[in-house]
């Protein structure tokens, strides 16, 4: 119920589009108790977490939004694909694997 309240108050009003941010704001301002923010894959429309969630994401070359790095394993290889949250932008296949992305990207909070 609290996640629904956070969505109704902060996302539907246009203050943010990120449910994690909305829930954190809700907890700090309106929530009676603070909880760790955990979004399951049902709430996040099927998006599962990856080892790269703790890293800053690359920007979309078309619109400049932060892109998601999708990790998948066809056969024996690990491949990645860059996906922009804007549906009008194309997805980009990448030749980098997980370790190469970790070496390139900075961890969130690092300068």
Residue range 27-75, pLDDT digits in tens: 777 765 555 555 554 444 445 566 777 788 888 888 998 888 887 766 6
* Mean pLDDT, range 71-86, rounded to an integer: 76
Full-model pTM: 0.48
Contact 67, 82 (CB under 8 A): yes
Average pLDDT, the chain: 77
Provide the β-strand partners of residue 94: 80
Taking the C-alpha atoms of residue 34 and residue 70, their distance in angstroms, rounded to an integer, is 30
- Among the residue ranges 17-21, 27-31, 89-93, 94-98, the one predicted with the least confidence is 27-31
Provide the β-strand partners of residue 79: 72
* Mean pLDDT, range 78-100, rounded to an integer: 83
Taking the C-alpha atoms of residue 88 and residue 84, their distance in angstroms, rounded to an integer, is 9
For the chain, what are the domain ranges? 1-46, 49-111
Helices (H) and strands (E) in the chain, counts: 3, 3
Q: What is the dihedral of CA 24, 29, 34, 38, to 10 degrees?
A: -20
Taking the C-alpha atoms of residue 47 and residue 68, their distance in angstroms, rounded to an integer, is 10
Confidence (pLDDT) at 86:
85
């Amino acid at each position: 119920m609290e996640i629904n309240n956070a969505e109704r108050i902060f996302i539907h009003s246009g203050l943010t589009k990120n449910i994690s941010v909305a829930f954190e704001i809700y907890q700090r301002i309106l929530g009676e108790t603070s909880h760790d923010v955990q979004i399951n894959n049902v709430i996040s429309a099927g998006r599962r977490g990856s080892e790269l969630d703790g890293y800053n994401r690359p920007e979309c070359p078309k619109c400049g939004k932060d892109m998601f790095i999708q990790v998948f394993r066809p056969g024996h290889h690990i491949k990645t694909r860059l996906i922009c949250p804007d549906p009008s932008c194309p997805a980009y296949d990448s030749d980098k694997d997980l370790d190469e992305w970790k070496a390139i990207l900075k961890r969130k909070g690092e300068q």
